[in-house]
Structure 1
Amino acid sequence: MAPVLRVLVVDDSAVVRQGVLLLLENVPGMVVEAASDPLIARQKMKSHRPDVILLDLEMPRMDGLTFLRELMREAEPVPVVVCSGLAGPGSETAVRALQEGALEIIAKPQLGVGDFLRESRARLVTALRNAARARLARRGPAVREEVEPPERPASSMLTVTTDKVVAVGASTGGTEALRQLLEPMPPDCPGIVIVQHMPEQFTSAFAKRLHQLCRIEVKEAEQGDRVLQGRALIAPGNRHLRVRRTGGHYQVELMDGGRVSGHKPSVDVLFQSVARSVGENAVGVLLTGMGEDGAEGLLAMRQAGAETLAQDEASCVVFGMPRAAIQRGAVDEVVPLSAMTNAVLRRTRRVRAH
Structure 2
Amino acid sequence: MAIRLLVVDDSAFMRKAIENMLQKAPDIQIVGFGRNGKEAVELAEKLRPDVITLDIEMPIMDGLEALSQIMSKCPTSVIMVSSLTSEGAEATIKALELGAVDFLTKDKSFASFGVMKLEDQIIEKIRQFATKKHFRIPTAKPKQSIQPKTTFTPTAVKAGSGNKRIVAIGTSTGGPQSLQKVIPLLPSSLNKPVLVVQHMPPNFTASLANRLNTLSQLTVVEAQGKEKLEPNIVYIAKGGFHLKIKKIGTNYYTDVTNEPSNMLHIPSVDVMVESVAENFGRDALGVIMTGMGSDGLKGLQKLKGLGGAVIAQNQETCVVYGMPRAVVEAGIADEVVPLESIANTIINYCK
Q: What CA distance in whole angstroms lies between the structure 2 residues aligned with 1:14 and 1:79?
A: 23
Is the aligned partner of 1:323 residue 2:329?
no
**What are structure 2's unaligned runs of at least 5 residues?**
142-146
Which residues in structure 2 correspond to 1:262-301 (within 5 Å)? 262-301=264-303
| 8 A contact 2:86–2:207 mirrored in 1 | no
Q: 1:21 Cα deviation (Å)?
A: 1.9
Residues 1:177 and 2:178 aligned together: yes
Q: Which residue pairs with 2:94 in the alignment?
A: 96
Residue 317 of structure 1 aligns to a residue whose secondary structure is: coil
Aligned partners of 1:16 and 1:109 also within 8 Å: no
C-alpha contact (below 8 Å) 1:171/1:290 kept by paired residues: yes
Letter in 2 for 1:71: I
**Deviation of residue 139 (structure 1)?**
2.4
Q: 1:313 aligns with which of 289, 311, 315?
A: 315
Aligned to 1:50: 49
Superposition deviation, residue 24 in structure 1: 2.2
User: Does residue 16 of structure 2 align to residue 18 of structure 1?
Assistant: yes
- Retained in 2: the 8 A contact 1:52–1:131? yes
2:79 paired residue number: 81
**Does the 8 Å CA contact 1:299/1:329 hold for their aligned counterparts?**
no
CA distance in 1, matches of 2:185, 2:89: 25
TM-superposition CA deviations, 1:195-254 (whole Å, max 9, x none) = 001122211111111111212111111111222111101111111111233333322212
Match of 1:148 in 2: 154
Q: Deviations over 1:3-62 (max 9, x none)?
A: 422221112222222222222234321112311123322332344322221111122332
Q: Which amino acid is the alignment partner of residue 148 of structure 1?
A: P
Give the conservation status (yes or no) of the 8 Å contact 2:222–2:238: yes
CA contact (8 A) 2:84 2:107 kept: no
In the TM superposition, residue 132 of structure 1 has moved relative to its aligned partner by 3.2
The equivalent of 1:199 in structure 2 is: 201
* AA partner of residue 108 (structure 2): Q
Equivalent residue, structure 2, for 1:237: 239
Q: Kindly provide the amino acid, as one letter, of the partner of residue 52 in structure 1.
A: V
TM superposition score normalised by structure 2 = 0.86
Counterpart amino acid of residue 314 in structure 2:
D
Shift of 1:120: 2.7
- Aligned position for 1:154: none
Find the aligned partners of 1:112 and 1:341 in 2 and give their Cα distance: 37
Aligned residue for 2:119? 121
**% identity of equivalent residues:** 33
Q: Are residues 1:340 and 2:347 paired?
A: no
Which deviations, in whole Å up to 9, do the C-alpha atoms of 1:127-153 show, x marking residues without a partner? 3333435622322348999432899xx
Question: Alignment RMSD, CA only?
Answer: 2.7
**TM-score under structure 1 normalisation?**
0.85
Q: CA contact under 8 A between 2:293 and 2:322: conserved in structure 1?
A: yes
Cα distance, 1:43–1:66 mapped onto 2, change above 3 Å: closer
Residue pair 2:210, 2:221 contacting (<8 A) in 1 also: yes
In structure 2, relative to structure 1, the CA distance for the partners of 1:111 and 1:264 (3 Å cut) is closer
SS of residue paired to 1:25? helix
Q: Distance in 1 between matches of 2:302 and 2:110?
A: 44
Q: Distance in 1 between matches of 2:107 and 2:23?
A: 15
Deviation at 1:124, TM superposition (A): 2.5
Q: Identify the residue that residue 39 of structure 1 maps to in structure 2.
A: 38
Would the aligned equivalents of 2:41 and 2:70 in 1 still touch at CA under 8 Å?
no
Q: Give the equivalent residue in structure 2 for 1:110.
A: 108
Name the structure 2 match of 1:155.
none
Q: Which residue of 1 aligns with 2:138?
A: 139
After the TM superposition, which segments of 4 or more aligned residues of structure 1 sit over 6 Å from their partners? 142-145
Secondary structure in 1 matching 2:224 = coil
1:62 match: 61
| Residue equivalent to 2:144 | none
Which amino acid in structure 2 is aligned with residue 67 of structure 1? A
Contact 2:44–2:70, Cα closer than 8 Å, also in 1: no
